[in-house]
């Protein structure tokens, strides 16, 4: 897999991509390290040194708009010629479309950013998920009757802001959940980065240090500042009730 990302937020982190590829039956998945020197290679140099020399490619699969090498000079015409000369099968995959529109990472980022999780799931073929290690927080949720698992997430991951009905995957177990992703303005924490925190429904175990994956099903509301903790607690009860109703459709 050849990929690079100059900036912005990622829909899937490198580790997530590898897991998804392996789940599709791929025996091995390797990502080449991408840097300025690597990206500056001429197409012929990259093709000969890496694809033929180091990895001894038996076949290549690329998208219709794939290009690589310095100034993206390694276009399909180059690949067809180079593969034909070396007897390497080349498969050019068609675009995946939905309702006449090409499914693209930029369109998916917009859907996730807007919190349209059902539409994002339709295009992804799975629910958009966030994975992180459960870390200690201020434990204010516990005092309000809604203990939350605060997630430490890779800073490159795209996080939609708001409150979501979700499923939480802990090892092989799956639980219903309400997930808040935001700045927690009511608590006046001073945090300037989005913080994901999950309240697992009907759950009371200690899971600090465990890895938790939350699958965002539907956005319940945007994050907002409440007049105080009592008002916040009352809204959290409403959110939990709404999430339970939604989860019945995702059993």
| Rounded Cα gap, residues 146 and 144, in angstroms | 6
Please say if the pLDDT value at position 43 is more than 90: yes
Residue 117 lies in a domain: no
- What is the rounded CA–CA span in Å between residue 146 and residue 140? 8
Q: Which of 82-91, 100-109, 153-162 has the lowest mean pLDDT?
A: 100-109
Instruction: Tell me whether residue 23 is in a domain.
Output: no
Domain that residue 83 falls in: 35-94
pTM of the model: 0.84
Please tell me whether residues 89 and 134 are part of one structural domain: no
244 and 161 within one domain: yes
Q: What is the pLDDT of residues 62-83, one digit of tens each?
A: 999 898 888 888 899 999 999 9
In-domain check, residue 234: yes
Q: Under a CB-based contact definition with an 8 Å cutoff, are residues 80 and 90 in contact?
A: yes
Token match 């700045």: residue?
183
Q: Are 242 and 161 in the same domain?
A: yes
**What confidence tier does 7 reach under pLDDT thresholds 50, 70, 90?**
very low
Q: What is the pLDDT of residue 3?
A: 52
Q: Is the pLDDT of residue 2 over 80?
A: no
The confidence score (pLDDT) of residue 80 equals 95
What is d(CA 160, CA 223) in angstroms, rounded to the nearest whole number? 11
Instruction: Using the 3D structure, point to which of 44, 76, 94 is the last residue of a domain.
Output: 94
Count of domains forming the chain: 2
Same domain, 172 and 229: yes
* Pair (81, 131) in one structural domain: no
> 203: domain CATH number?
2.40.30.30
- For residue 185, what pLDDT band results from cuts at 50, 70 and 90? low
Split at pLDDT 50, 70, 90, the class of 181 is very high
**Do 179 and 89 share a structural domain?**
no
C-alpha distance across the termini of the chain, in Å = 34
- Could you count the other beta carbons within 10 Å of the beta carbon of residue 76? 15
């Amino acid at each position: 897999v050849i990929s690079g990302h100059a900036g912005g937020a990622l829909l899937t982190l490198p580790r997530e991509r590898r897991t998804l590829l392996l789940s599709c039956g791929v025996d091995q998945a390797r990502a080449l390290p991408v840097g300025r020197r690597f990206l500056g290679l001429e197409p012929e140099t990259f093709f000969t040194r890496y694809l033929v020399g180091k990895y001894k490619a038996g076949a290549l699969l690329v998208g219709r708009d794939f290009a690589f090498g310095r100034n993206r000079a390694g276009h399909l015409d180059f690949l067809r010629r180079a593969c034909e000369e070396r007897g390497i099968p080349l498969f050019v995959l068609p675009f995946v479309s939905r309702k006449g529109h090409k499914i693209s990472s930029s369109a998916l980022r917009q859907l996730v950013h807007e919190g349209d999780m059902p539409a994002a799931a339709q295009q992804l073929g799975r629910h958009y998920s966030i994975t992180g290690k459960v870390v200690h927080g201020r434990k204010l949720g516990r005092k309000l009757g809604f203990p939350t698992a605060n997630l430490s997430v890779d800073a490159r991951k795209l996080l939609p802001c708001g409150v979501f009905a979700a499923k939480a995957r802990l090892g092989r177990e799956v639980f219903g959940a309400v997930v808040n992703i935001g700045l927690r303005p009511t608590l006046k924490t001073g945090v300037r980065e989005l913080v994901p925190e999950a309240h697992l429904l009907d759950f009371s175990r200690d899971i600090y240090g465990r890895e938790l994956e939350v699958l965002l099903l539907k956005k319940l509301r945007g994050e907002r500042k409440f007049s105080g903790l009592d008002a916040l607690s009352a809204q959290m009860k409403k959110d939990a009730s709404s999430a339970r109703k939604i989860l019945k459709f995702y059993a």
